[in-house]
A and B are shown apart, each in its own frame.
Chain A
Amino acid sequence: MTGELAAPHPVLGAVVVLGVLLVGTAIVTTADAVVADRVARRGLDLRASLVRPWRRIALSLVRPQPATERPDWGLWVLAPAAYVGMAAMAVSVLPLGTDWAVADVRTGIVVLGSAEVLAMVAVYLHGWAPNSPLSLVGAYRFVAAGLSFLLLSMFVLIAAALPAESMSLGRIVASQQEGAWNVLRQPLGLPLFLVVALSVSLHGPLDMADGTDLATGTVAESSGPARLAWEFGRRAMLTAYALATAVVFLAGPAGPVLPGWAWLAVKTVAVAVVLVWCGHRLGRIGIQRYVRIAWTVLLPLSFLHLAISGVAALA
């Protein structure tokens, strides 16, 4: 059922996945605060930058969640859980060290794709549940964006599977160690996949569901721990897809001297910081332009990318 990499005991595996998401979220949150203060030129008070996000979290924990008129409570509670769950599902199929993954399944890239689609479902439900117009608009908008970037993601991942001759992410890493890293032999893939990462994690210029122009869209009616859970989900998803980028394009745990997990951590944090930085310097793109570019530019590019990768893999 599993691929080549060793898997820990399922319980330990679950703990590891949760740990990766928590640590990743902490790092992303810190990076976000530091980058924000740098961009705002708030002076060089690093301590203030580091402390502020944790105080905000404490504030969220003590605030209540008011009811809207006739919300769908069940779905409202389910949505953040499902979103975090999809981030966990993505992390579980990724290699986390040179020779182990929580579940190196043979259908790894399809699981990654499924995580994106089910994340789209979670975002839709999160916008639907509060019975609030701007939230629902965010949900509709994300479906439009989602249907655009899902195909992109699939083509990029299939292209990465071609030289590995396997859908397993462990094999994809191994093939990069045998040949060149995918960032070099499939140069179009990395930027395309970063678009997917930003879109699915509702971050930065591609945050279509929770934009401030919709008064924060699907999260507009959430407060307190409910909002914190959703924000955790977004950061966890960013972590998962930064990790996936590092694995698929930067050979994940491969590297000299340091142990595999350390290399993976370094590469993941680097990708995450780039994504966070984009969010603070690039204005959110309008949904119509996003969809237009996704279908007329990025999708043909990904076809081209797939064709080139296929020919290169055969050669």
Chain B
Amino acid sequence: MAVMDRLRRVAATAPVAVSVALGHGADAVLADLRADARVDVTASPRHATVLVVAGHVPAAAVAALGRVHDQVPAPRATVVVDGDPARLDLPAATATTRAALVDELVRVHAAVVTGQRHDSPVGPADNPVDWQGIGPHGQGGEGMMGGVPWGRPMAMPPTVGRDGLALDRLALVVGPFLAVLPPMLEVEVGLQGDVLEEVELRTVPPDPHAPTPPPTPVDSGLVALAELLALVGLGALATTAARLARTPDRRVEDVAALRRRIDRPWGLRLGTDDLDRLDLPGVAPDPTDRWRDWLASAASTAVGDAHHAPEPVATDEVAAQLVGMEVGHAVLTLATLRPQLAASAVAPAVSS
């Protein structure tokens, strides 16, 4: 036991493993967390100890937030930034402000690891769907495909044309809090192995009477760049980009320096050059050009030019372009559309 106590004391000093659930307009908080060495932003809630809820979470997304909350392994804790935990159905959560966030996280993390804090799950503890065997060998229904075992749909064969050379289609809904997707984006896919056969994108709009958020104090393009860098496995460079995003008076040389480090065939471009090109109005077809635009925009605002808000894109047009992509390619493609998708989550675009 003494060993475990000692281990817990060391673990309490580790970087806080944070899963971030992003609502609308939370880029500043995300950049804070990415930039800070005391925090590790995890890609999966299973790897976190603390869930951070930032930005405006619409009422429609509260149930999904509860599911993400329960995916963080217990003991866990939740910190809500500039929001009301009661409105989010997370009564045990700690409320804090953006300025005090990281200090609060370190405190909460230590409390969780040393066993002083444990937020209860908000969803039902047991699986909501009982397994009922009614077939002759205990299947869920007629034949082998009957029933929905444990509430999880199985990959379903198409009615015709199944030939064993293709994997059956797996229907899946992810989001709106999946860390690898832009915020407030829900994706419904039909997966065939690792290829998307069918895609539907939905944004979760803000509540009708939600207060208008103040203008974000960070450069959203650079935040998007940090997320993209993290997605291709360049977490260390993502820190640099996030730090630059939250620097109030960026120097244009710093932006140029960052660009020199990542804009090379053996840099970030190794991951984005080969992505499928897009055919969308108002969007650069080449994925590399899309993140170059963010850097160009950051450089121009650094010399005092006005910031141009990104144009929203029609989600159904984006979805049509994702069909046939590999999952990872689709995730990266969505990441290169992050500013546009964030804009369309607030003010949806009509497809042309």
Bits for B174-209, please: 1 = Cβ < 8 Å to A, else 0: 000011100000000001011000000000000000
B80 at the interface (CB under 8 A from A): no
Number of interface residues, chain A, beta carbon within 8 A = 56
B43 close to A212 (CB less than 8 A): yes
Instruction: Decide yes or no: A41 and B240 within 8 Å by CB, A140-B194, A283-B233, A288-B274 being known contacts.
Output: yes
Instruction: Decide yes or no: A281 and B234 within 8 Å by CB, A41-B240, A63-B73, A69-B151 being known contacts.
Output: yes
Q: Among B4, B230, B239, find the residue whose CB has the most chain A CB atoms closer than 10 A.
A: B239
A66 close to B266 (CB less than 8 A): no
A55 CA to B9 CA in the complex, in Å?
10
A282 close to B267 (CB less than 8 A): yes
Chain A residues with CB below 8 A from B10, complex form: 54-55, 58
B interface bracket (residues with beta carbon within 8 Å of A): 35 or more
The closest CB in chain B to the CB of A33 belongs to B236
B123 at the interface (CB under 8 A from A): no
A137 CA to B326 CA in the complex, in Å?
10
Instruction: Decide yes or no: A216 and B236 within 8 Å by CB, A69-B150, A286-B274 being known contacts.
Output: no
The closest CB in chain B to the CB of A292 belongs to B274
Q: How far, in Å, is B144 (CB) from chain A's closest CB?
A: 16
A61 close to B11 (CB less than 8 A): yes
A108 at the interface (CB under 8 A from B): no
Chain B residues with CB below 8 A from A220, complex form: 43-44, 46
A48 close to B37 (CB less than 8 A): yes
A261 CA to B73 CA in the complex, in Å?
43
Q: How far, in Å, is A271 (CB) from chain B's closest CB?
A: 18
Q: How far, in Å, is B242 (CB) from chain A's closest CB?
A: 10
Bits for A197-233, please: 1 = Cβ < 8 Å to B, else 0: 0000000110100011111100111111001000000
Q: Contacting A40 at CB < 8 Å: which of B15, B239, B327?
A: B239
Chain B residues with CB below 8 A from A131, complex form: 152
Q: Contacting B236 at CB < 8 Å: which of A37, A64, A289?
A: A37
B15 close to A55 (CB less than 8 A): yes
A69 close to B152 (CB less than 8 A): yes
A137 close to B191 (CB less than 8 A): yes
Q: What would 21 A/B residue contacts be, using CB atoms closer than 8 Å?
A: A39-B236, A39-B237, A40-B239, A41-B240, A52-B37, A55-B14, A59-B14, A59-B17, A63-B49, A66-B73, A69-B151, A131-B152, A137-B194, A140-B193, A204-B233, A214-B180, A223-B46, A227-B47, A283-B270, A283-B271, A288-B326
Contacts A37-B37, A212-B230, A214-B328 known; 5 new A-B pairs at CB < 8 A: A65-B73, A66-B46, A140-B193, A213-B231, A283-B269
